Amino acid sequence: MKLFKINKLFYTLNSNNKLKFMNSIAVRLKRHYLPLIILSLISALIIPLMWDNLDAISFTAISTGYISLFLLAASLMIGPINLLLKRNNPLSSYFRRDLGIYGGLLAVVHSIAGLFVHMRGNMWTYFLNKSEQGYSIRLDDFGLANYIGVISALLIILLIITSNDYSIKKLNPANWKNIQRITYLMFALVLLHSIYYRIVANDLNRMYYLYLPLLGLILVFQFLGIRLKTQNK
């Protein structure tokens, strides 16, 4: 009888935890992901106004690339903004986490779609040169842009996989935070990937009025965040 009560209690606690988890997911989908999806669709409508004659693959690559860039940048500024507004700045908030996950997923979609934009049917030419002597690693601007993009995508996948409560508990908060700090390296590589593609396209205007100002904005917020955190200690 006693064993039955213990099993019943365990089942009840387990069921309650599952219910809380499902409720949490439902709330996050409604409050975070649904608005982000709507915002993405609205933003995607602007893309055809800026680029002419886009087919479906090019549209997907370009729209997911730029939307993910802004979302990932925003996720890096949430912490400093919380400190500036004197709000609670926890180790990981669901909003910041979901913003990074969604932006990261769009970046992965961009990486996959991007492999079909140029030289369709010859994906290997993104990374290799073919000559009479055989194949060699492509180290021109186009090749470097693609290698940097792949590294960025792999880092994003790592960050997405570990962006959950289970990973925080399993790795312990300190180790988990160290892994998540890879976000800064990832974003720097994303910008470098974007800049290299502007060099390939022989069009640096976007680098000057978009990429560099965005980098400067993030650096300012990070500097302010570090300063405020140091003062509060």
Q: How confident is the model at residue 233 (pLDDT cuts 50, 70, 90)?
A: low
Quick one: pLDDT at residue 146? 95
The string of DSSP codes covering 15-33 is HHHHHHHHHHHHHHIIIII
For 137-194, the pLDDT digits (tens) are 999 999 999 999 999 999 999 999 999 988 999 999 899 999 999 999 999 999 999 9
Domain-located, residue 147: yes
| Total H helices, total E strands in the chain | 11, 2
Give how many domains the chain has, as a whole number.
Answer: 1
Q: Higher-confidence residue: 16 or 211?
A: 211
Q: Is the pLDDT of residue 2 over 60?
A: no
Quick one: pLDDT at residue 222? 92
Domain span at residue 183 reads 32-45+54-232
Domain-located, residue 22: no
For 19-72, the pLDDT digits (tens) are 455 457 888 888 889 999 999 999 888 887 777 788 889 999 999 999 999 999
For 92-149, the pLDDT digits (tens) are 788 899 999 999 999 999 999 999 988 776 888 899 988 778 888 999 999 999 999 9
Residue with tokens 């961009």: 110
Domain-located, residue 186: yes
Tokens of 218: 């993030």
Domain-located, residue 209: yes
Structural contact between residues 100 and 183, judged by C-beta atoms closer than 8 angstroms: yes
Domain-located, residue 1: no
Residue partners of 162: CB distance under 8 A and separation at least 6 = 171, 176, 179, 180
Query: Domain of 61: which CATH number?
Result: 1.20.120
Measured in degrees and rounded to the nearest 5, phi and psi for residue 85 equal: -90, 5
Quick one: pLDDT at residue 31? 87
Domain-located, residue 178: yes
